Structure 1
């Protein structure tokens, strides 16, 4: 293992009351079964995988299950639970606070509470909220509030507003697609350029984004000649990317060729990705032959320290 001090920006938490609610309603993560979770198991996994700190987040389906009032209550409950987890073990846990989009007013209020009062390390947004992607003009007030706080935003995929392939759960192929879709909309709708102080992390190496970025840029200028290839690529390179389920011999070269320096972060996707799956990708990550000097340590920890200064070590 190349590092015994990883910062994991893609680690999940399932507060007991939240998990019970999902089970009662027959909900899961896009056809992916809900795993068990508890603090001791999380710490044991991190010790096994060389992870010093996990910045945890709720995964799909998020906290908005159809009703705005319920979503506000559920977001507050989840966020206060995780804030206590971090308060108890600030060395081992960080927090991406849950936000109840598409309820914009509720989302702004919860973001302010989580960042200002709970001192969350950032917020997590699902890639779409009821079929509306994150570049939707209605979500501008939230982006303005996040930008004012120079917030770190973790974008996690959820089910796309389209049928899944028969027998293929959404996390297998639709999740990377949905991440790519929302990232492109954020860019082409100008969110990334209007709010330069927000740092946006895309799950799973950005889905397909590094691979198709130049196609997106060139094709978009054909549709809209007022755009420029260089301008689109510059905005796309503002994103950060985690390595969850993506540290492979074919994905890494594309990701590292596209991402801006310092914009690749370690991710495990535990417990939705079991330890064996994480170890598979960690092995390829550690064994990659083309790292530049210091680059692997930066991915494992240093780049996260720049985003989360409280985690920095001397």
Structure 2
């Protein structure tokens, strides 16, 4: 039976003033236009045994050449999300968006979101207008978030390559970009230098668990690195189950991830609810769970990342 107390670490909102832009972006990526409001989100959660959804906005908040727009857009999205959570803190949490690549602005927004808006964590995209997250320019941000022991969702976005005609980028390219940025972070030593950051990779880490030992060979090209050390850093990541709880993916994910590092995710409303039924069922009916492991994935592991949601 489904766990009635799921914590969904991968749920999105669409502020009303961004609904049209989000629909246009989805169309450009070859994906159905999502729709969202509080009532429909709660109804979805009730149908899917989700007690609390941690909301985030999974898209750029401004054009690449508009840093002022990114600052204003991030602040607007975060304040909108905080209002939703303030009204229903039992049902929602908040991962705040940052206006990267402006690191100073991102530091300011992180402080505002965590200290003033009571955000439960932060969200960054897998690449920032083509710059990946291991870029040394982002080092001050990681240092600050490590000092705060922050939870950070690394949400995929379209990679800086041409899409394959007829293959929607969210379906095909997003897993690739997740693995790409995770490897870039690890090869540049970010998880090892900043071990107090809890980084969540959506969609079971894209291709990362399945290909991790292949990716570890990259350490041989970096003096001072070893495949074993690189694998250790890659295992520091957390992973959610959104669009990934299938009979081929789960064994690889569970074999690779550290204990306690797998979390439930729905990807609503970006993944239409009727498309997600099989993934929820795959999670619930997976035959090889160890005692207590499914409850940990559904809730217990997320309680450790967001202690305010813990139940006695």
Q: Does TM, normalized by the shorter one, top 0.5?
A: yes
Q: Does 1:70 align with 2:59?
A: no
Rounded to whole Å, the distance in 2 between the matches of 1:259 and 1:230 is: 15
- Give the secondary structure class of the aligned counterpart of 1:47: helix
* Partner SS, residue 25 of structure 2: coil
Number of the residue aligned with 1:308? 306
Q: CA separation in 1, counterparts of 2:75 and 2:21?
A: 15
1:178 is aligned to 2:190: no
Q: For the residues of structure 1 that align with 2:29 and 2:143, how far apart are their CA atoms? A: 30
Q: CA-to-partner distance for each residue in 1:27-71, whole Å, 9 max, x for gaps?
A: 337332331110000000000000000001112x32132210001
Q: 8 Å contact 2:61–2:99 — kept in the other structure?
A: yes
Residue of structure 2 in register with 1:117 after alignment: 116
Tell me if structure 2 keeps the 8 A contact 1:159–1:170.
yes
Aligned length: 310
Distance 1:64 1:175 in 2: 20
Distance of 2:127 and 2:79 partners within structure 1: 24
* CA separation of 1:166 and 1:150: change in aligned 2, threshold 3 A: same
- Show CA shifts across 1:245-268 (max 9, x none): 000000000000000000000000
Distance in 2 separating the partners of 1:272 and 1:284: 19
Residue equivalent to 1:220 = 218
Select 1:251's aligned residue among 249, 255, 261.
Answer: 249
1:96–1:122 contact (8 Å) kept in structure 2: yes
Q: Which residue of 2 aligns with 1:81?
A: 80
* Equivalence for 1:143: 142
Match of 1:9 in 2: 9
Partner of 2:230: 232
Retained in 1: the 8 A contact 2:187–2:219? Answer: no
User: In the alignment, which residue of structure 2 is the partner of 1:34?
Assistant: 33
SS of 1:241's equivalent? Answer: strand
Question: What are the within-5 Å matches in structure 2 for residues 294-305 of structure 1?
Answer: 294-305=292-303
> Conserved in 1, the CA contact under 8 Å of 2:22 and 2:34?
no
SS of aligned partner of 1:135 = coil
Cα separation, 1, equivalents of 2:232 and 2:275: 33
Shift of 1:204: 0.2
Report if aligned partners of 1:64, 1:101 keep a CA contact under 8 Å in 2.
no
Shift of 1:118: 0.7
Give the equivalent residue in structure 2 for 1:127: 126
User: Hey, what's the Cα distance between the residues in 2 that align with 1:155 and 1:186?
Assistant: 11
- TM-score under structure 2 normalisation? 0.97
SS at match of 1:27: helix
Structure 2 equivalent of residue 51 of structure 1? 50
Q: Deviations over 1:77-130 (max 9, x none)?
A: 000010011111000000000111111111111111101111100000010001
Matched-pair contact (CA < 8 Å) for 1:63–1:74: yes
Q: Look up the SS of the partner of 1:172 in the other structure.
A: helix
Report which stretch shifted further, 228-237 or 243-252: 228-237
- 1:107 alignment counterpart: 106
CA contact (8 A) 1:245 1:268 kept: yes
Partner of 1:20: 20
Q: For 1:75 and 1:156, how far apart are their aligned partners in 2?
A: 15
Aligned to 2:93: 94
Gaps of 5+ in 1: none
State the distance in 2 between where 1:261 and 1:189 align. Answer: 24
How is 1:141-220 mapped onto 2 (pairs within 5 angstroms)?
141-217=140-216, 219-220=217-218
Q: Tell me which residue corresponds to 1:269.
A: 267
Which segments of 5 or more consecutive residues in structure 2 lack a partner in the other structure? Answer: none
